[in-house]
Structure 1
Amino acid sequence: MSATTTRIRLLFCETCGSCEELPDYTGHPDGDTALAYLISSRHQFPSGDPHGGGHLADVSKAEWDNPRYRNQIIKQMNESIKAGGSEGLGNTFYETKNTFADDAGQCWKRHNRTTDCGDYRTPSKELVPDTKELRKEAGLSTRARDRPKIFLCDFCPVQSVIEQRKNDARGIYHFKN
């Protein structure tokens, strides 16, 4: 496998029976804002307690996008979870979702598929996990400047237009809008 292979992570939640795609992350777990946001926004009980039985897997994006490999990944993950003593994810595996890309796509549609979004990277589009109290209890910094900034916009089609414009400005290639 080459060093340039694009990787993704999969969050398998036994509680709600979901599998969600996350961008790759190799830093310290305390800085994994995308995972923290996903758990705090979609994988909590009404009490605020996180769902139990969450499993992360790291896979090649190319393999995950291949339906044959995807089915094998799901099968192996389910067997692995069952081997760990739980009931596994069940035989009727749920829809796999690239959560952030789906949410960004819906936002983009609401903005009439613009290529120059007025909401691009505004504070309302920042993915901020609700972990301030947990970080405080653990003795970690709760200041916003001490965590990476991830925006829903990073998963939007507009992001590729922004990158193309930046590359054009750097003289890497000519971009026509």
Structure 2
Amino acid sequence: MADDTRLSCGRSIDDVWSHVGGAPDEHERGCPYCLEARARLLRLSDATTDLRTAEAADPALQPEPDFTASVMSLVRAEVRRGQALPLDVDEDPGLTISEQAVVSLVWAAADAVPGVRARRCRVRLVDRDPGSTGPTDVDVDLALAVAPGTPLQATTEQLRTRVAALVDAEAGLRVRRVDLVVEDVL
């Protein structure tokens, strides 16, 4: 099962948080997911500093003991969520699913294929014509690692089929294309 604390690039939100006060590393400087997470975490850090200053001035503002853990759970969920992808516009035009929820489905589909481990994943909304109806189309970019001796042609076909089927069945999105990059060996 996919780690639900990973950003769409595969990096853990905790890794980004652990050095948010310092300079971003090379990956973070070029990664839109990490840059967005850093920006949100920096805003959180600033807000936390302001709250702590106010708390010091007024003891009645002291938080409950589990307040910080609750806030961090919400922050992690929000940062990972990514863009909102519209679902079937015929059924409910306002209904959306988060990019991270779809990424989790892709990771689950990939991890179910023997000899494959998902790495970075990105789900992109396919442009729609104004007034178009029906399920939303998405493209999936997935980097993965494969075990030595894994037959790539058959495995990638199986993976593409599983990703499309699972995303359609669980999220109601139509996967137009699954682009795979084998970037590592298990």
How does the TM-score come out when normalised to structure 2? 0.25
More strand by share: 2
More helix by share: 2
Larger Rg: 1 or 2?
Answer: 2
How does the TM-score come out when normalised to structure 1? 0.26
Which has the higher relative contact order, 1 or 2, with Cα contacts under 8 A spaced 6 or more apart?
A: 1
